[in-house]
């Protein structure tokens, strides 16, 4: 997979580049010091994934994500940040980021997160997931029946929220991978959601 790294700290950029290039399935196609340069490199290098810092000069990672998602349907984004910032987290999800991990995460966690996102999963580090859960809790939950969701669809939504891939869901629920894909498509249509990221947030907010 082709990875682009965007971070305003040169030491972090270079360190991440060295770590990722040790992986046989990863190629770092470029590094950027801000969101604006990152967008330019997306045009030039066509990465599969962007490992994106949130707070950067010129253009921050959230605004860069918004513009990247508007221009490129196939580029996935993993935020790498030291900031547990409500506004940034919610905005990043709104604009379509596939995941968040903290900069304090081990190289193994960052590498595994990139691979999971490449496979179509949403990824939140444990600290980020706990914070998201606290942020989106409201005073009233809804039942699956209220939004037309069956018990099996609800189980699949819970699995997606836990970060499971389609294959892992299929194995856990004893069904075919194609059947899982069909269920997910039906859920997205019923709830008028765009992707797995929005589905996971919907689940955390409402159930």
Q: How far apart (Å, rounded) are the C-alpha atoms in residues 184 and 155?
A: 11
Rounded to whole angstroms, what are the CA distances from 44 to 30, 48, 95, 148?
10, 12, 22, 44
Whether 59 and 43 share a structural domain = yes
Q: How far apart (Å, rounded) are the C-alpha atoms in residues 91 and 85?
A: 10
Radius of gyration, alpha carbons of the chain: 17
* Res 136 pLDDT > 60: no
Q: What is the CATH number of the domain that holds 76?
A: 3.40.50.2300
The token duo for 143 is: 């039942």
Whether 7 and 60 share a structural domain = yes
Q: What is the CATH number of the domain that holds 179?
A: 1.10.10.10
pLDDT digit string, tens, across residues 172-182: 999 999 999 99
Segments forming the whole domain that contains residue 75: 2-135
**How many domains does the structure of the chain reveal?**
2
Three-state DSSP state, 144: helix
Q: How far apart (Å, rounded) are the C-alpha atoms in residues 129 and 82?
A: 14
Confidence at residue 96, expressed as pLDDT on a 0 to 100 scale: 84
Three-state DSSP state, 78: strand
| Confidence at 27, pLDDT banded by 50, 70, 90 | very high
Neighbours of 26 (CB within 10 A): 19
**84 vs 28, higher pLDDT:** 28
* Res 67 pLDDT > 80: yes
Q: Of 101, 135, 169, which residue sits at a domain end? A: 135
Whether 11 and 100 share a structural domain = yes
The token duo for 16 is: 């991440």
Whether 127 and 149 share a structural domain = no
Q: How far apart (Å, rounded) are the C-alpha atoms in residues 85 and 93?
A: 12
The token duo for 82 is: 């030291």
**76 vs 105, higher pLDDT:** 76
Q: How far apart (Å, rounded) are the C-alpha atoms in residues 8 and 169?
A: 37
The token duo for 193 is: 């959601």
Q: How far apart (Å, rounded) are the C-alpha atoms in residues 204 and 137?
A: 7
Whether 124 and 34 share a structural domain = yes
Confidence at residue 13, expressed as pLDDT on a 0 to 100 scale: 95
Global pTM value: 0.72
47-51, 58-62, 84-88, 94-98: segment of lowest average pLDDT: 84-88
Whether 102 and 12 share a structural domain = yes
* Res 139 pLDDT > 60: no
| Confidence at 196, pLDDT banded by 50, 70, 90 | confident
DSSP string, 130-195: HHHHHHH--S----GGGGT--HHHHHHHHHHHTT--HHHHHHHHT--HHHHHHHHHHHHHHHT--S
User: Is the CB of residue 152 less than 8 Å from the CB of residue 87?
Assistant: no
């Amino acid at each position: 997979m082709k990875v682009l790294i965007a971070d305003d700290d040169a030491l972090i950029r270079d360190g991440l580049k060295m770590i990722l290039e040790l992986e046989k399935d990863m190629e770092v196609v470029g590094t950027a010091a801000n969101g604006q340069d990152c967008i330019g490199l997306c045009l030039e290098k066509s990465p599969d994934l962007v490992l994106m810092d949130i707070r950067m000069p010129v253009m921050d990672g959230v605004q860069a994500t918004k513009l990247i998602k508007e221009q490129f349907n196939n580029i996935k984004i993993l935020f790498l940040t030291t900031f547990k910032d409500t506004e940034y987290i919610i905005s990043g999800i709104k604009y379509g980021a596939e995941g968040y991990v903290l900069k304090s995460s081990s190289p193994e966690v960052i590498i595994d997160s990139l691979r999971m996102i490449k496979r179509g999963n949403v990824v939140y580090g444990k600290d980020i997931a706990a914070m998201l859960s606290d942020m989106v809790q409201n005073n009233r939950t809804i039942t699956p029946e209220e939004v037309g969701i069956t018990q099996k669809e609800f189980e699949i939504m819970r699995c997606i929220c836990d970060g499971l891939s389609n294959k892992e869901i299929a194995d856990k629920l004893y069904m075919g991978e194609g059947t899982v894909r069909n269920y997910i498509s039906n859920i997205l249509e019923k709830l008028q959601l765009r992707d797995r990221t929005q589905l996971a947030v919907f689940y955390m907010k409402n159930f």
